[in-house]
Structure formats: structure tokens, C-alpha cells
Structure 1
Amino acid sequence: MLDKQKLISMIDYTLLKPTTSKEDMRAFCEETIKYGFRTVFVNPHYVAYAHALLSPHGIKVGVPIGFSLGGATTHVKVEETKEAIKNGAEEIDMLINLGALKSGENDVVKNDIAEVVKASQGLTTKVIIETALLTDVEKETATRLIIEAGADFVKTATGFNGGGATVEDVKLLRSVAGDKIGVKAAGGIKSYQDAVNIVEAGATRIGASGAVAIINGEKSNKAY
């Protein structure tokens, strides 16, 4: 069984609900400190606030870019990335351009990622591909483009657009990624056993809004 502290170190604790209030965010940050998560992900509006609360504890704040559809222009994603870093973000999870991928415009997809990687100035970058919306061939293509563009991780899903991490998808992504990049599994991980299964399939990072319930051996009922 995966050690509890090891699992905590692998989890990106997440609060991305559009209705999140400042009080919600403060409580979330306090919970993060209490349980010892190393990284959180919050929407751009809350990056500076979360950073102020968490940086004294050595906890990183990450931010989703182009969230939650990925259809923003590359210029917008780059500027969003720069502003987030200025506000204290230390990890970047960007949405892939799904329309371009579906259109077979691989150069557009690759450039979109590469420009955000460049704007990230060496920070860890992950690329969300929304596995539930892709064929296996598209998942493989996306992962190869992510490697070529210089990002650090391929990530399964946001949890906002249907589906989520599955053992089968993680195995597939890992088979393409090899040891070149990490695999982050997010969306639909509801229990400790789910997390164990996903890690055994090849995930090296987990994104979860229900992280506290998961590590306490309870069932999370959070959708994302």
C-alpha cells in the first residue's frame, strides 16, 4: 500500500470552484498547512492571496492557464502565465488547444505549449489534455507534442469537462511518456484506493479537490 506521507507529497490539493469566496480560500489554505500538502492549485484571481498565506510554510501555489476549455489564444495564455508568476505562482498547468488537436494542427498545438513553457521561466509546467474528449491516438499524439514542446508533465483532465483519470489512460500516457516527462492524474480520484491504483499505473502526481477525504481513507464526493 502506498505510504500516506508519500501520497500527500504527490497530491496537488485543488480549489477551482468558480464560486469560491475569500473565506473559502483561507479555510482551504489553513487545511493545506494542517495536512502538509506541498502544492495547491487555485484560480488566477486567488494566486497572490494564497501565496501570501502559504509561502511562509514552504507551500507552492500553482495556477491553471487557459482554464477550463483551452481555447484561448497563445498570446492570452502567455500573458496569463506571466501575470500568475508575478503574483506568486510556482507551477503552471495549461490547457491544450483541443480544437487545434482535433483539426490535426499539430504545429499549432506544439507552439501553444512551447510558448507557455517559455513564459514559465523554468517553472514546472503540466499540460492538460482532457482524456475523456480524445481518442487513444489523439492522447498519444498530444503526449508526444508535450514532450517535444518541453513541458514537464502530461495531465489527464480538469474534471470540468466530463470524465477524469482512469487507470487505462494513465497506463497509455505513461507508455508514450516513458521516463521523459511525468504523468499527472486528475479528475475522478475519489478514494485512497483510487489513488493507489493510479500511482501503480504510472502517475507521478495527483490533482484532487477531495484530497483530505482521500488521505483520511474516506470517500470524496467532490466533483472536481
Structure 2
Amino acid sequence: MVNIASYIEQTNLKPEATLQDISKLCSEAMTYNFAAVCVHSSYVSTAHAMLKGSDVRISCVVGFPLGAMATKIKAAEAAYAVACGADEIDMVLAIGRVKSGDWDYVIEDIQQVVAAVPGHPVKGILETGLLTEEEKKLACRAAVQAGAAYVKTSTGFGCGGAVVEDVRLMRDMVGKNARIKASGGIRDYQTACAMIAAGADRLGTSSGPAIMEGMQHDGK
């Protein structure tokens, strides 16, 4: 049986998330020994204090959820998050530039965020529900070329979430040059297992405890 807890990034990116919600998020992550929590930059310092002494990592979203912010702003937010205690950065690609075929901009956008946080993995969020198959392939290539450590399916706030076919395509495109994070709509154990089987290395989800309960039920 897969140790699914080691794949899970327990996530709360809702605009109405409160301090109590972030406290619960961190508590759940420590209880189940999840790989990470994923939060907005304003909550990184809070999560860092709550997770002190644990092995749970902190992922912070940047340019979220639209990806349309200026590159310098994304880089500054990434640097701020790391200064506050973030271990990893999940940045939304410049989706409109992807749709425009402006690959020089897309690559530079990612490169500047990567350069702003040396030693900290950057995940490039493709927002696959808005892209054609060819755009997904080219976005994967751009992310790897720019130095992203991961490519990630979606924000969970756009059109569609993670689907197995996209995870397979992304794995085929990046090979061993990057890891894959599936995110958006992963709410049960069966779906989580399907994403891992397709090639996902991390799972972004707000349903970590439910997934763990499903694993325990299936293991009986």
C-alpha cells in the first residue's frame, strides 16, 4: 500500500480562510505527517510558527490564482514568502502569455521567480483546464527550461482541476527533469491513487484527512 500521506500537501487557499482555519490545517498536517501545507503568503509566518519542530514543509502560492501579475511582483512575493519561512513556491504561469504563444515572457517570468528563491523548489502551475493539449506540452517544456522543479496541474480556482490524462501527459513531457503536482478536485483515496499511478509526486488537496480515512478503509 502506498504511503499516501507523504504525497499530500494539505491546502487552504480560500479567500475567507481564518487564523483558526490555518491552525486546523497545520494540526491536520502534523497529525497525519503530510508532506506539506499550502497557504497564501500572508499566512506563511503563521504556519511556520505552528509547524516548528515538525517535518511538514510549507508551500506558498505566488501570483495566485490568475498568474497575470507582473513578473517583479511574483518574484517579490516569492522572496517574501521564503523570508517568512516558506520551503517551496507554487507560482501560477502567465497563462495569457501562454495562450498568446509569448514563450520568451513565460520563461522569463518563471526564471525570475526561481532566481528570487535559490535553493527552494518552484512549482509552475499550468492551469490545464484553460490550455489546449499543445499548450500544455509547450508550457511543460518552458517550465523545465526556466528551472522549475515541478509542474502543477491547476489552481483549483480555474476551469477544471486535475485529471489523470493531464498528469500522464505532463509526466511524458518532463520525464525525470521535473516532478509533478496534481491539484484541484482530489477529494478521495481512489482519485489520489489514480493521480499517483499516472505519475504525480505530490497531491494538492483540502481533503487530506478524508483521503487518509479512505486508505485505512481500503486497507482493512
Give me the TM-score of the superposition, normalised by structure 2.
0.95
For residues 157-204 of structure 1, the C-alpha deviation after alignment (integer angstroms, 9 at most, x for no partner) is 011012111111111111111111111100011211101111111111
Query: How far has the Cα of 1:151 moved from its partner?
Result: 0.7
Query: How far has the Cα of 1:55 moved from its partner?
Result: 2.4
Query: How far has the Cα of 1:38 moved from its partner?
Result: 2.4
1:118 and 1:55 map into 2 onto residues whose CA distance is 26
Q: Secondary structure at the match of 1:94?
A: strand
The alignment covers a number of residue pairs equal to 215
**1:96 maps to which residue?**
93
For residues 110-158 of structure 1, the C-alpha deviation after alignment (integer angstroms, 9 at most, x for no partner) is 0000110111111111000000000000000000001100110110001
Query: How far has the Cα of 1:211 moved from its partner?
Result: 1.0
**1:87 maps to which residue?**
84
2:81 and 2:175 map into 1 onto residues whose CA distance is 30
1:27 and 1:16 map into 2 onto residues whose CA distance is 13
**2:10 maps to which residue?**
13
1:21 and 1:197 map into 2 onto residues whose CA distance is 32
Query: Is the 2:33–2:55 contact (alpha carbons within 8 Å) kept by the matching residues of 1?
Result: no
Contiguous gaps of at least 5 residues in structure 2 = 216-220
Query: How far has the Cα of 1:216 moved from its partner?
Result: 0.7
| Counterpart mapping for 1:6-155 below 5 A | 6-155=3-152
**2:218 maps to which residue?**
none
2:171 and 2:182 map into 1 onto residues whose CA distance is 11
Query: Is the 2:25–2:37 contact (alpha carbons within 8 Å) kept by the matching residues of 1?
Result: no
> AA paired with 2:55?
G
Q: Secondary structure at the match of 1:13?
A: strand
2:164 and 2:56 map into 1 onto residues whose CA distance is 28
Instruction: Extract structure 1 runs of 4+ deviating beyond 3 A.
Output: none
| Counterpart mapping for 1:209-220 below 5 A | 209-217=206-214
Q: Secondary structure at the match of 1:70?
A: coil
1:207 and 1:183 map into 2 onto residues whose CA distance is 11
Task: Give the superposed CA RMSD.
Answer: 1.0
**Amino-acid identity (%):** 43
Q: Secondary structure at the match of 1:41?
A: strand
1:148 and 1:195 map into 2 onto residues whose CA distance is 28
**1:166 maps to which residue?**
163
**2:184 maps to which residue?**
187
1:36 and 1:22 map into 2 onto residues whose CA distance is 21
2:195 and 2:20 map into 1 onto residues whose CA distance is 32
2:103 and 2:146 map into 1 onto residues whose CA distance is 11
1:144 and 1:159 map into 2 onto residues whose CA distance is 22
Query: How far has the Cα of 1:214 moved from its partner?
Result: 1.1
Contiguous gaps of at least 5 residues in structure 1 = 219-224
> AA paired with 1:214?
I
Give me the TM-score of the superposition, normalised by structure 1.
0.93
